Structure 1
C-alpha cells in the first residue's frame, strides 16, 4: 500500500517543554487516521510540523515517499488547522473563488465541493450569516477544492452542537468512502471511534499506540467478578494462566480480571468453584476503545 506520510523520530521542543517526543508512524493511502490524545498532548504541534508551519527540532518526515520536496508535496494536501477564516461580508461562493485563484483551481470545482458539504443551496449567503457548523463545512469544501490526496483536520468538531458534530462526521465518512486519505486530530474518542480506521494515541508528545482501531479492540476482554472474600478471590485469579492481570474496581468486593485467552465465563466460574471459591457476580465484557484509551493515557 502506498505511503502518503512517514514520520521518523519527530521531535519538537519549546524551551524546556518537549511537545513532540520522537514520534514515528506512517499514513497509508485510503485510510482514515485519528491522532488521539488529551488536550496538550502534541497533536496540533505534530500537524503544524508536517504542514511546514512549525519548525521541527529533530527527526524527519517525508511526503509521498520523499519523491518531492515538502513545498511541492503540500500542493497535494488539503488542511484545516485553525478556525475557518473567510471574508465575513462575502458569499460562500465568492470566498471559494478567491481560494480557487490562490490554488490555481477552476471555478467549476466550487459547486461540486459545496454539494459534498451540503452547502450548495446556501452558496450565495454571506459567511457571517453561517452557523459555526456551516463555517466548518465551508472550510472543508475549501480544503477539497484542489482534489488533494490527503485531507488534514485539526479538531474538526470542536465547539459544535450535536447536530453539527453529526454533519461533520457524515461528511468525513462520505469523503472517505470515495477513497480519500484523511488525518484528523481530536481529543474526542467517540469522534475517532466512529469515523477512523486507524488511530495514533499520544500523551505528552509520546506515542502510546499506532495501528488499526480493530486491532486495538482485538483483546480477549475481561470479567467483572465479586465474592464475599475479595483477598481469596484475588489470590486465586492471580494464579490462573489465562488471567493477564487483576485490578480492584471498588471497595464492594469487585475485581476486574483481564483475560489472555478466550475463556468463557462459565469455565472461569467452574475453575474457581473447584477451589472452593464461589462468586456472587461474574460478567464477561469486551474492553471498549474508551477504556483502552483511558488505560493508556492515565498518568
Structure 2
C-alpha cells in the first residue's frame, strides 16, 4: 500500500522548556482515515503544522509520497484546513470558491462538483456571512477538495459545532473517504475518532503512546457478560477455565475477564458440558475510551 506521509523521530521544542512534539514517528497509508488523538496541548496541531510547512521542526524528518516529491510540490496534492474557515463574507459560496480556483489555477467546473459533494449546491448563491458555523466548515472542506487532493488534512473539524453540524461533518468525512481520498484529522474527541477513523495515533505531552488500527487499540480479549439461574455455580465453573482471569458479579450478571482469547461458542459449549445453561451471553470489547484513559492516566 502506497505511503502518503512518513514521519520519523519528529521533534519540536518551543523556547527552552516546551517539547511540543517529542520523537514522534508514524506513517499514513493511502486509502485510510487516520486520527491524531490527544488532549489539548498534546502536540496534534504542531505536528500537522510541521508537515504542512507552516511550523519549523527542531529535528527529525518527514517525507511525502515515498519521498518522490519535494515538500513544496507534494503540498499541491494535499488539501488542508488547519484554521477557522476564512472567506469573504459578502461574496457567495460560489464566488468564494471560484476565487480559490483562480488563485490555484483550477477549472471553475470543480466548484459545482464540490458544492454538491458537501451538500451546499442549493446555497451556492448565498453570501458566506449568512452561513451557520457548520455550513462554513463544509464550504472550507469543499475549498480544500477543489484540487482533488490525495490526502485531506483536518484540524479539529467539528470544534464548536452543534450536534447536527457534528453529524454532518462526520458523514461527509466518511463519504470523502469512501471515494478514495486519504484523510488525516486531529481531534481531542474520542467519539469522533472511534466513529470515523480506521487508524489512530495517540499523543500526550508531545509523546506518542499508541499507533495502529482503532479496533486493535481496544483489548482483543475483551470480556463476556453472562447470566444464569445460579451465579455462584456459574462463577465456580468459570474459574476452572484456563482462559478466564477473573469474574465479577454485578446486578445479577457475571462479567468474565479473560487472559487468553476465547470465542463465545467455545465458552458456551464448556459451560453446557458442565451443566450450566445460560440465559444471556454477550461478548464485549473494552471501549476506546477505557483504553485511552488507561494510556493517558
CA RMSD of aligned residues (A): 3.3
- Provide closer, same or farther for how the CA distance between residues 42 and 210 of structure 1 changes in structure 2, counting only shifts above 3 A: same
Structure 2 counterpart of 1:137: 138
Structure 1 counterpart of 2:181: 180
Distance 2:65 2:103 in 1: 23
- Provide closer, same or farther for how the CA distance between residues 116 and 18 of structure 1 changes in structure 2, counting only shifts above 3 A: same
TM-score, length-normalised on structure 1?
0.83
Structure 2 counterpart of 1:297: 295
Distance 1:63 1:249 in 2: 52
Distance 2:203 2:258 in 1: 23
Distance 1:293 1:154 in 2: 23
Deviations 1:6-32 (A, max 9, x none): 000111111311111111110011111
Question: Does the residue aligned with 1:158 lie in a helix, a strand or coil?
Answer: coil
The answer to whether the Cα contact below 8 Å between 2:223 and 2:286 also exists between their aligned partners in 1 is: no
1:292 shift after superposition:
4.1
Question: Does the residue aligned with 2:62 lie in a helix, a strand or coil?
Answer: strand
Does residue 1:74 correspond to 2:75, yes or no?
yes
The answer to whether the Cα contact below 8 Å between 1:193 and 1:289 also exists between their aligned partners in 2 is: no
- Provide closer, same or farther for how the CA distance between residues 61 and 293 of structure 1 changes in structure 2, counting only shifts above 3 A: same
Return 5+ residue gaps in structure 2 as ranges. Answer: 227-231, 275-279
**How do residues 60-209 of structure 1 correspond to structure 2 at under 5 angstroms?**
60-209=61-210
**How do residues 7-86 of structure 1 correspond to structure 2 at under 5 angstroms?**
7-14=7-14, 15-86=16-87
Distance 1:268 1:51 in 2: 56
Distance 2:136 2:208 in 1: 32
Question: Does the residue aligned with 2:154 lie in a helix, a strand or coil?
Answer: strand
- Provide closer, same or farther for how the CA distance between residues 293 and 127 of structure 1 changes in structure 2, counting only shifts above 3 A: farther
Does residue 1:2 correspond to 2:2, yes or no?
yes
Distance 2:47 2:206 in 1: 9
The answer to whether the Cα contact below 8 Å between 2:11 and 2:57 also exists between their aligned partners in 1 is: yes
- Provide closer, same or farther for how the CA distance between residues 256 and 18 of structure 1 changes in structure 2, counting only shifts above 3 A: farther
Distance 2:146 2:137 in 1: 15
- Provide closer, same or farther for how the CA distance between residues 88 and 215 of structure 1 changes in structure 2, counting only shifts above 3 A: same
Distance 1:17 1:255 in 2: 44
Distance 1:102 1:188 in 2: 34
TM-score, length-normalised on structure 2?
0.84
Distance 1:136 1:99 in 2: 15
1:209 shift after superposition:
1.5
1:240 shift after superposition:
7.8
The answer to whether the Cα contact below 8 Å between 1:242 and 1:263 also exists between their aligned partners in 2 is: no
Distance 1:170 1:24 in 2: 29
Question: Does the residue aligned with 1:9 lie in a helix, a strand or coil?
Answer: strand
The answer to whether the Cα contact below 8 Å between 1:90 and 1:127 also exists between their aligned partners in 2 is: yes
Distance 1:13 1:255 in 2: 46
1:155 shift after superposition:
0.7
> What number of residue pairs does the alignment pair up?
288
